[in-house]
Chain A
């Protein structure tokens, strides 16, 4: 269970797309992360503000970073899989 034959490594036509997507998603997440750090540097007391269901900004923003990282990882995985499938289909079509 949960074991499968190893993927055969070879030329990956989606490599450029995956690298670019990864870099842009990292930049987007870094901006959101920098916001968290910036608020703590400039106005740490603002983190006490209640923002969501009785929780303060610190807990909401902090756990939001954790949850958003997981969501971004799922999105990244899905987009990469879609691109790989699309390029595999198009290369098969060209070969035929």
Chain B
């Protein structure tokens, strides 16, 4: 059983959760929650955005897509760049001028419609769900490698092999 990866993993998760709870407690308004009150330097904010993109989708998903699909998988890594360009050149300026922090708030400020609020909420949940599922699957596969040794007689999961638990 590999103890060090489990310890490092638990320590990392604990650190991230601790930071999240600490800084979440400091946000007292929408401006504080979404934009840190506008006090963050653009360079630091940019690094945070870059961190968003350095996700399981990038490190696991794109690598896996290229490994399994070849060139077609490479096209995916170019694809989501287009969304960033739309956000920067088309969306950011009007949103800032409106003083809103989310697309839903901006639409609601313009049209004041319960229907739009509901549609935006439902679409946000659906998109988040589809994004979350592969993230959780990827995380689960990674954690399985660390904790497989905790159950007696376990075999570390490898593609193409059946997972068998003995002595339980």
Closest B residue to A7 by CB, please name it.
B38
Does residue B146 face the partner (Cβ distance < 8 Å to A)? no
Q: What are the interface flags for B12-44 relative to A under an 8 Å C-beta threshold, 1 for contact and 0 otherwise?
A: 000000000000000000010000011111011
A-chain residues with CB within 8 Å of residue B43 when the two chains form the complex: 2
A-chain residues with CB within 8 Å of residue B134 when the two chains form the complex: none
**Total A-B pairs in contact (CB under 8 Å)?**
61
Scoring A9, A18, A22 by chain B CB atoms within 10 A of each residue's CB, the highest score goes to: A22
Give chain B's interface secondary structure class: helix
A-B contact pairs, 16 of them (CB 8 A): A2-B41, A3-B40, A6-B38, A6-B39, A9-B99, A15-B93, A19-B93, A22-B92, A22-B93, A23-B89, A26-B89, A29-B89, A44-B71, A62-B74, A69-B81, A73-B88
Using a CB–CB cutoff of 8 Å, the interface residues on chain A facing chain B are: 2-7, 9, 12, 15, 18-19, 22-23, 25-26, 29-30, 33, 36, 40, 44, 47, 58, 62, 65-66, 69, 72-73, 76
